[in-house]
Structure 1
Amino acid sequence: MKTLPFLIIVILSAFVISCKSETEKTAPLVYEFTTNLILDDIKKLSSDEFEGRKTSTLGATKARDYIKERFKKLNVTPLLENFEQPFSFIEGTKTYSAVNILGLIKGTEHTDKYVVLSAHYDHLGIIDGKTFNGADDNASGVAALFAFAEYFKSHPPKHNVILASFDAEELGLKGAYHFADNSIIDLNKIVLNLNFDMISRSDNKELYAVGTRYSQPLKETISSFNNVGEVNLVIGHEGLDNLDDWTSSSDHAAFYKKNIPFVYFGVPDHKDYHKSTDVYESIDQQFTIDAIQTLLTVFTQLDAKKL
């Protein structure tokens, strides 16, 4: 073999290193779901057509129909007939009729264990003639369920997965509590809940993970997580800092009360929280898709373990 002059070797080496560095810097982020479809889901569910998706209204019925149709197209198996778990409750002087939407993805290895991925679909409806569309709260979380369903078509999970879109979260987490108190799945077989509620905008690009203080394996996975895109995944709001304690702030509380490990993913309240200005145009599209990819990546790391 001929020996190259030393100067040429140095130049070639520098070129290779430079190319490698440039590749590492410019390599695009790979999303494991169809980003434009997921954004369209948020836009659709938060449109005026759905009238703010308040429990026990026509808008909520339309939202359920939309979710069920998307699940069907994504090959999600109904956990109950027509995906529906109906229930009723009294709040104040009114009786509400509500419906949880529950789908199933069968696991390939740990077939006796279940992970519940949850996101409530209800919102505040129409108040004083204004539609409260609830784009961030919580059309964004429901869209994440669709992203997971799409991902599972080509990457089936090791654990069984229940895709749960709960009703009546805004009225006291009623749907999640009904599921936990009347689940058709033995609660001893539910090993984890990942709850998605408000994941589409954050002024400081932070997405909080709440619940790791109660589970060392969860804390280890999330504390060592490499951030995705614009999203900075932060452990907090667990009652161990000076921030509000979110342990019981959304549907994950129903699992917490049953001693089921959970992680709630969400952003801090923003200026449009529970206002008619929480519309599709106010979400951060890049943050949204990066947040959903973050959720997918966290799940795959946890699913790889025997929970």
Structure 2
Amino acid sequence: MFRILSATILICFSVATYAQRASALKNMRILTSDSLAGRGYVENGMHKSATYIADQLDQLGAEPAIEVSSFFQEITPFSVNTFPSKITFNAYDKKQNPKIFTAGKDFLLHPASAPMNKEEVELNYLHDEKALDRVKSNKAYYINKHAFDKEAFHKIEQAFIADEKVENSLLVVYDSTKLSWYPSQNQAKNAVIYSNQPIAEKYISANWKSVLNNAFQAVNVIGKISGNRNDSAIFFSAHYDHLGRLGEHIFPGANDNASGVALLLTLAEHYSNNTPEFDTYFLFTTAEEIGLLGSYYYVTNPLLPLNKIKLLVNLDLVGTGEEGITIVNGTKHGKIFDLFTGLNATRLSQIKARGEACNSDHCFFDKAGVPAIFIYTLGGSKAYHDIHDDISSPSLYAFNQLQSLIIDVVNSL
């Protein structure tokens, strides 16, 4: 009889585990689909993503957390530089035999780059910092990043991005290290290309549009599941925005951070079927990639007093886990960290404690005195802020284990 009961429990657990993973994958496929355009600033990608998340919360039975019965909290409009159309960059040998580069794969633009329209212009080589004195408007220049020390290269790079005297010039940088992209709130008068291939050709062509949106409107998405007690609250957070598009090339953002959104939604599903002890909020923040703007807005415009938050668990980059997890602020909140390690058993291979770091949406909550931790998984794919962070990137190796551990920790508070 005991064996039959144990087998039944094991089967039920396996079915539940499979269902959680299937639900997570479904949400991640939608969030990383081309129709959401990288959850960024063109083609309404970010707004479509927010609507999808709100619909999922509604279907799960979560309550709108905003006083006007809405899942959306509008944040202060901000500026963002966008690249909404095709980007081309080619190099030529004596204006013939073009070497064609692909955006996202072979090169990236500095996110503050100005529009560019250059056809078969000569490429001038910069060999030292003194050459900056000879930089002129409407020209194209080339440097090998690895021929300069870090400080010297930064000086040259910033001279192009911040220079007010020179305009419509292009700096092409050979950089063999991994190329990562991010958005910018500014648009410069010049442009910078980072190529992962050296360029020996004498001429280049470069064409793209840059559009500075000075008043981009974005929203946080916030749901709530009422608990047995409302004197305190538990917060779960994850940013849903990503980098969007660079021309025709989409940054899917599967691990960063469709994985965190998926985990928050499975947690919402759990608590919709299992009444939590405390009121529980699910905060999907916007504009994290451009400077934690969504979480900053929430902290400065909270829906309930911040001192009522018993714990905030921020989830970002949780799509792997082959080597366990790291808890940022784990050294600061030793009792919380000890709960994780004490309840872990054999679920996660390791749990590492890290100190304070303003590297995700827990940061402003922490600065405001809220007990806040940030969890990310270790191991697996290294794709990050590139076009390779697609749905095939996260293994979800520790997805179910991490979810069950978080639930056990919260239940122990």
- 1:239-265 per-position Cα deviation (integer Å, ceiling 9, x unaligned): 6xxxxxxx2110010111111111211
Pick which of 157-166 and 50-59 moved more.
50-59
Q: 1:292: Cα distance to partner?
A: 4.1
Q: 1:268: Cα distance to partner?
A: 4.8
> 74, 91, 99: which is aligned to 1:86?
74
Unaligned runs of 5+ residues in structure 1 are 1-18, 240-246
Query: In the superposition, relative to structure 1, how do residues 112 and 278 fare at CA in structure 2: closer, same or farther (>3 Å)?
Result: same
Percent identical across equivalent pairs?
27
Q: Does 1:97 align with 2:252?
A: no
Q: Give 1:291-302 correspondences, 5 Å limit.
A: 291-302=399-410
Kindly indicate whether the alpha-carbon contact (under 8 Å) linking 1:209 and 1:233 is maintained by their aligned counterparts in 2.
Answer: no
Give the number of the structure whose alpha-carbon radius of gyration is greater: 2
**TM-score with structure 2 setting the length:** 0.61
Aligned match of 1:130:
249
Counterpart Cα distance in 2 of 1:217 and 1:145 = 23
- Specify the SS of the correspondent of 1:34: helix
Q: Does 1:148 align with 2:296?
A: no
Kindly indicate whether the alpha-carbon contact (under 8 Å) linking 2:47 and 2:218 is maintained by their aligned counterparts in 1.
Answer: no
Unaligned runs of 5+ residues in structure 2 are 80-184, 188-213
> 220, 231, 238: which is aligned to 2:338?
220
Aligned match of 1:11:
none
- 1:3-62 per-position Cα deviation (integer Å, ceiling 9, x unaligned): xxxxxxxxxxxxxxxx98xx89x9575546632122111111111111000157501111
Counterpart Cα distance in 2 of 1:139 and 1:121 = 6
Aligned match of 2:24:
38
Query: In the superposition, relative to structure 1, how do residues 249 and 292 fare at CA in structure 2: closer, same or farther (>3 Å)?
Result: farther
Aligned match of 1:303:
411
- Specify the SS of the correspondent of 1:282: coil
Counterpart Cα distance in 2 of 1:293 and 1:107 = 24
Aligned match of 1:238:
355
Aligned match of 1:4:
none
- 1:205-244 per-position Cα deviation (integer Å, ceiling 9, x unaligned): 3221221222232022022132565x434123326xxxxx
Q: 1:271: Cα distance to partner?
A: 3.0
Instruction: In structure 2, give the amino acid aligned to 1:142.
Output: V
Instruction: In structure 1, give the amino acid aligned to 2:225.
Output: I
Larger strand fraction of residues: 2
Counterpart Cα distance in 2 of 1:161 and 1:56 = 32
Aligned match of 2:394:
283
Q: Give 1:231-270 correspondences, 5 Å limit.
A: 231-238=348-355, 247-268=357-378, 270=381
Q: Give 1:60-79 correspondences, 5 Å limit.
A: 60-79=46-65
Q: Give 1:158-197 correspondences, 5 Å limit.
A: 158-197=277-316
Instruction: In structure 2, give the amino acid aligned to 1:143.
Output: A
Kindly indicate whether the alpha-carbon contact (under 8 Å) linking 2:225 and 2:272 is maintained by their aligned counterparts in 1.
Answer: no
Instruction: In structure 1, give the amino acid aligned to 2:39.
Output: R
Kindly indicate whether the alpha-carbon contact (under 8 Å) linking 2:323 and 2:378 is maintained by their aligned counterparts in 1.
Answer: no
Counterpart Cα distance in 2 of 1:206 and 1:150 = 24
Counterpart Cα distance in 1 of 2:295 and 2:345 = 29
Q: 1:198: Cα distance to partner?
A: 0.8
- Specify the SS of the correspondent of 1:170: coil
**TM-score with structure 1 setting the length:** 0.81
- Specify the SS of the correspondent of 2:392: helix
Q: Does 1:139 align with 2:249?
A: no
Instruction: In structure 1, give the amino acid aligned to 2:360.
Output: S
Query: In the superposition, relative to structure 1, how do residues 262 and 83 fare at CA in structure 2: closer, same or farther (>3 Å)?
Result: same
Counterpart Cα distance in 1 of 2:226 and 2:10 = 33
Query: In the superposition, relative to structure 1, how do residues 164 and 57 fare at CA in structure 2: closer, same or farther (>3 Å)?
Result: farther
Aligned match of 2:226:
106
Q: 1:192: Cα distance to partner?
A: 1.1
Pick which of 78-87 and 116-125 moved more.
78-87
C-alpha RMSD of matched pairs (Å)? 2.5
- Specify the SS of the correspondent of 1:40: helix
